[in-house]
A and B are shown apart, each in its own frame.
Chain A
Amino acid sequence: MSSDQLEIEQLEVLSFLQRHSPFQELSLPEQTTLAQQIDVAYYRAGSEILTYNAPLDALYVIRSGVVETFRRNGDLYNRLAEGGLFGEQGLLRGKKVRFPARALEDTLIYLVPAVAFEQLFDNNEFFADYVEVGDAMRRATPRLAKAADHQLMSAQVCELVNREPVMLSADATVYEAAALMREASVSCLLLTDPAKPEHICGLITDRDIRNRLVAAGLQSDINVQQIMTRELVTVQAEQFVFEAMMIMLRHNLHHLPVLQQHKALGVIAIADIIRHESNNSLYIVSSIYQQQTVAELAQLRPAVQACFVRMVNEDANSQMIGSAMATIGRSFKQRLLELAEQQLGPPPIPYCFVALGSMARDEQLIVTDQDNALILDDRYVAEQHDAYFAALANFVCQGLDQCGYPLCSGNIMATNPRWRQPLKVWQQYFSDWILKPAPEKLLHSNIFFDLDGVWGENQWATQLNQQIAQQAPLHKTFLASMARNALLRTPPLGFFQDFVMDEDGKHNKSLNIKRRGTAPLADLLRVYALSLGFDNPSSYQRLARLSKLNILPKGRADDLRDAYEVIAMTRIRHQAAMLQQQQNPDNNVLPEQLSEFERKHLKAAFQVLANAQKFLKFHFQA
């Protein structure tokens, strides 16, 4: 090229690089050089971009559009929008496509050639971390996982390996082995064949030294081969954690070498598995029942939060998280009631403790009031029995407060005498609400229509749900009142499809994802559930049954379910992110902290909700 020719200014490419990670972090000369190396390709919606195992010559950066990448079995791996990258896994591993990609919308791709990619990867630490380490994290944020493709038990053994194996040649003495164990502070060494150092021929643990050397009266200068374990039981890196656990239980092992093909990757101990599993919701539930005092129960709070964060990071969907948290909340109530009965003695008459609202709907999260009530046996006589149940309610509600479920500001709790009544009074309450509806009165009793028995005579809760399911569909005025109330809270979308922010207090630039999103959606589902006589209060059950009936226009129930998932997951991720930053989680989402992709989908979800509200209004003449 002659000197007459200008250095090419790639203005648009450069300004794009300057707006997106990991390129915006590069120096200006690096950005300028990179901008001059980029080629461009266009893919129409639905077309294949990359096919599995095809040769790969570039990093794909999305300039505009949306792309989905897939696992080999066809499961969705990731969904990416403007600024998203793909192909980096393939470039790092043999320049072959590992995750096939397809354009979901018309997509323009900027191609960073493999040479430029490698240069940046080798010379720029931030870039290398971003494309390699950051992959899992970036994936967790914008992803909308399919409901079925996740299992809590899917963690692989290699995730537990946190250090290189400590190895020693098998011709060393036990003394040398013990010294190395102390130095590396490990309780187990892998022993290599002196002739073939690559080959692991045995394993020695501190227990072996105690049991086979000290207890047997041998000297520490003997060869390790005399006391080492020769028949090694091992696990492969990609096997599941629960498989490793089964192997260790079956062979009564405390240490298990992890191999990648034939190479030793590390050793896992039983404690690693326990630590891994201790954030599991099932583990928390079982430990709730082992606590003996309210104070001990309150100490489980951090474990509950860790479990919540972990489920979010493992891409659990909102239903799994919501029902796990509801199960944990229910267990707290049950254990508190057991403890209360231990302290107060057995109840004078049978009762049923019920959960209301989000716990009953199986969509409880980490920030949640307690909403509960007591249904008492019809033989209830206030003078004889109320002192006991007032004390019981007080014990449970105060206990819940200490365990992280704050008292209900609307006083919908069993401590309120109005909500501590015999079954026949509850039946009368519901009849009054349904037969003589007054919108203002119903506004405060919405929550009673999401009701679930937790402890005691749970069949009474079922009876009340059946009564509601029989009466509600027949009473149009009641349904219209409920529908009117369900329309009071609208999604935060402005005329130009922009987010409308709440302007209250210190959160004056946020949007309250509960008040403007999940709550109006739950209200809307409740109205349909009531009108159709559903007797299960779970939001997921309501959505599933709604989509089977032809109540909504074709496809709308499915849209509603997707919208529910988007809104709920935005709220869940927001709370998990706050917990990870050691802040008190709330419901105030800052739109600028969402990715472009999340914003776009959240807007679409709000639009679905807004349309569903219009339809509800029409449907019930509200």
Chain B
Amino acid sequence: MFYLGSTQPSPTRLNWQQRFRELAQSSRHLLLRQYYQQGLVSPDTPVSETPIMALDLETTGLDPSQHGIVSIGLVPVQGQRILNSAAQQWLVKPRFELTNSSVRVHRITDSALQTAPDLIEILPEFLAAIAGKILLVHCADIERRFLTAALQVRLGEPLQFPVIDTMALEAKVHRAKPLSLWQQFRKTPRTSIRLSASRQRYGLPPYLPHHAVTDALACAELFQAQLATRYTPNTPIADLWS
């Protein structure tokens, strides 16, 4: 498992540009070398000039060692616009059995997945789509762990990448201070930083969750709302990624 926080004291200081140059040399697999060779924008690039790609993975569960990816949604973001018209989506066949509960959640059935390719087959397209872009997700932990595990299994190497996490940006505002004693005593519930609750705070409409492209779009919209509320178009990208 790959936790940036454990290796670097201050994640925002992490020089991802430098890291990518090193990985482009050291990676063994051609696909990964090509991905890292695309490089990254410098950390001081204004967010409005950074190519960003919202990502959502739909999985059969929460544990990468037992569950697999069933679909991937990508929605590009450029400046103030969410380029939903350039969205991409793949259905992939997980290497684990589908459980009934996950079918209910994603509305993707076994028969639909029987004909779907393995992740390895769409990997060239997927990596080409995200190369040179900063990934944007809600709850980076899940996406990172699943992508890392999936690539570790298939290529023998993990994927490393900077991420803007809309959940972490919400946590900065709503989880900055621990609950006071009084709040603990009153059992005040902590502000929810889940996707739908966060969207509601910015006046964004409710979307039905668990559909990869819709969730990626929902995340991109939340990000735009966060930018408009707390940041400026000139905010350096390094203030947002981790």
A520 to B100 Cα, complex, angstroms: 58
A108 to B203 Cα, complex, angstroms: 8
A12 to B91 Cα, complex, angstroms: 19
B85 and A9 contacting across the interface, CB-CB below 8 Å = no
Q: Mark A49-64, 1 if CB is under 8 A from B, else 0.
A: 0000000000000011
Binds A, one of B7-15, B23-31, B218-226: B218-226
Residue of B nearest to A5 (CB): B90
Name the distance in Å between B116's Cβ and chain A's nearest Cβ: 8
**Inter-chain contacts of A64 with B (CB < 8 A):** 203-205
CB of B217 closer than 8 Å to a CB of A? yes
Q: Mark A18-62, 1 if CB is under 8 A from B, else 0.
A: 000000000000000000111111111001000000000000000
CB of B228 closer than 8 Å to a CB of A? yes
A binding-site residues for B, Cβ under 8 Å: 1-2, 4-6, 8-13, 36-44, 47, 63-65, 105-108, 111, 113
Contact of B88 among A8, A12, A39 (CB under 8 A): A8
B205 and A106 contacting across the interface, CB-CB below 8 Å = no
Given contacts A1-B88, A4-B117, A4-B122, contact A105 B83 (CB under 8 A): no
User: 13 A-B Cβ contacts within 8 A?
Assistant: A4-B121, A8-B213, A9-B89, A11-B214, A12-B207, A40-B81, A41-B80, A42-B224, A43-B228, A44-B229, A63-B205, A64-B203, A64-B205
Given contacts A5-B88, A8-B213, A11-B214, contact A47 B228 (CB under 8 A): yes
B117 and A108 contacting across the interface, CB-CB below 8 Å = no
Given contacts A63-B205, A108-B204, A108-B205, contact A40 B217 (CB under 8 A): yes
A40 to B81 Cα, complex, angstroms: 6
A10 and B122 contacting across the interface, CB-CB below 8 Å = no
Given contacts A12-B207, A108-B204, contact A39 B85 (CB under 8 A): yes
B84 and A41 contacting across the interface, CB-CB below 8 Å = no
A565 to B194 Cα, complex, angstroms: 40
Name the distance in Å between B5's Cβ and chain A's nearest Cβ: 29
Residue of A nearest to B124 (CB): A2
Residue of B nearest to A40 (CB): B82
B87 and A10 contacting across the interface, CB-CB below 8 Å = yes
Q: With contacts A2-B125, A65-B203 known, what are 9 further pairs, Cβ within 8 A?
A: A5-B88, A5-B90, A6-B91, A39-B81, A40-B221, A41-B81, A43-B228, A64-B205, A113-B85
A12 and B208 contacting across the interface, CB-CB below 8 Å = yes
A5 to B221 Cα, complex, angstroms: 24
Count B-side interface residues using an 8 Å CB cutoff: 32
Name the distance in Å between B113's Cβ and chain A's nearest Cβ: 12
**Inter-chain contacts of A10 with B (CB < 8 A):** 84, 87, 213-214
Name the distance in Å between A120's Cβ and chain B's nearest Cβ: 15
A290 to B155 Cα, complex, angstroms: 96
**Inter-chain contacts of B205 with A (CB < 8 A):** 63-64, 108
A610 to B82 Cα, complex, angstroms: 42
Residue of B nearest to A116 (CB): B85
A286 to B161 Cα, complex, angstroms: 80
**Inter-chain contacts of B217 with A (CB < 8 A):** 12, 40
CB of B138 closer than 8 Å to a CB of A? no
B213 and A9 contacting across the interface, CB-CB below 8 Å = yes
CB of B144 closer than 8 Å to a CB of A? no
CB of B202 closer than 8 Å to a CB of A? yes
**Inter-chain contacts of B85 with A (CB < 8 A):** 36-39, 113
Name the distance in Å between A594's Cβ and chain B's nearest Cβ: 20
CB of B211 closer than 8 Å to a CB of A? yes
A39 to B78 Cα, complex, angstroms: 11
**Inter-chain contacts of A1 with B (CB < 8 A):** 88
Name the distance in Å between B217's Cβ and chain A's nearest Cβ: 7
- Among B83, B122, B125, B213, max chain A CB count under 10 A is at B213
Contact of B125 among A5, A8, A41, A113 (CB under 8 A): A5
A12 to B214 Cα, complex, angstroms: 7
A40 to B224 Cα, complex, angstroms: 10
A105 to B229 Cα, complex, angstroms: 13
Contact of A38 among B80, B84, B202 (CB under 8 A): B84
**Inter-chain contacts of B213 with A (CB < 8 A):** 8-11
A108 and B221 contacting across the interface, CB-CB below 8 Å = yes
Contact of B82 among A9, A11, A39 (CB under 8 A): A39
Name the distance in Å between A33's Cβ and chain B's nearest Cβ: 11
B89 and A5 contacting across the interface, CB-CB below 8 Å = yes
Q: Mark B62-98, 1 if CB is under 8 A from A, else 0.
A: 0000000000000000001111110111110000000
Contact of B225 among A13, A63, A106 (CB under 8 A): A106
B221 and A111 contacting across the interface, CB-CB below 8 Å = no
**Inter-chain contacts of B221 with A (CB < 8 A):** 40, 42, 108
Listed from nearest, the 8 A-B pairs whose CB atoms lie closest are A106-B203, A42-B224, A40-B82, A44-B228, A64-B205, A12-B207, A37-B85, A4-B117
Residue of B nearest to A111 (CB): B81
Residue of A nearest to B201 (CB): A106
Residue of A nearest to B82 (CB): A40
A52 to B89 Cα, complex, angstroms: 38
B228 and A6 contacting across the interface, CB-CB below 8 Å = no
Contact of B84 among A39, A42, A47 (CB under 8 A): A39
Name the distance in Å between A600's Cβ and chain B's nearest Cβ: 13
A11 and B211 contacting across the interface, CB-CB below 8 Å = yes
Residue of A nearest to B88 (CB): A5
Name the distance in Å between A105's Cβ and chain B's nearest Cβ: 6
A106 to B228 Cα, complex, angstroms: 10
Q: Mark B101-138, 1 if CB is under 8 A from A, else 0.
A: 00000000000000001000110010000000000000
- Among B83, B84, B202, B228, max chain A CB count under 10 A is at B84
Residue of A nearest to B225 (CB): A42
Residue of A nearest to B211 (CB): A11
A13 to B89 Cα, complex, angstroms: 15
Name the distance in Å between B144's Cβ and chain A's nearest Cβ: 23
A13 to B85 Cα, complex, angstroms: 11
**Inter-chain contacts of A6 with B (CB < 8 A):** 89-91
**Inter-chain contacts of A106 with B (CB < 8 A):** 202-204, 225
A499 to B90 Cα, complex, angstroms: 45
A498 to B220 Cα, complex, angstroms: 33
**Inter-chain contacts of A43 with B (CB < 8 A):** 228
**Inter-chain contacts of A38 with B (CB < 8 A):** 84-85
**Inter-chain contacts of B89 with A (CB < 8 A):** 5-6, 8-9
- Among A41, A42, A111, max chain B CB count under 10 A is at A42
Of residues 134 through 177 on chain B, the ones whose CB sits less than 8 Å from some CB of chain A are: none
Name the distance in Å between B112's Cβ and chain A's nearest Cβ: 10
**Inter-chain contacts of B203 with A (CB < 8 A):** 64-65, 105-108
Name the distance in Å between A412's Cβ and chain B's nearest Cβ: 49
**Inter-chain contacts of A42 with B (CB < 8 A):** 80, 82, 202, 204, 221, 224-225, 228
**Inter-chain contacts of A11 with B (CB < 8 A):** 208, 211, 213-214
Residue of B nearest to A37 (CB): B85
Name the distance in Å between A313's Cβ and chain B's nearest Cβ: 32
Residue of A nearest to B86 (CB): A39
A463 to B125 Cα, complex, angstroms: 89
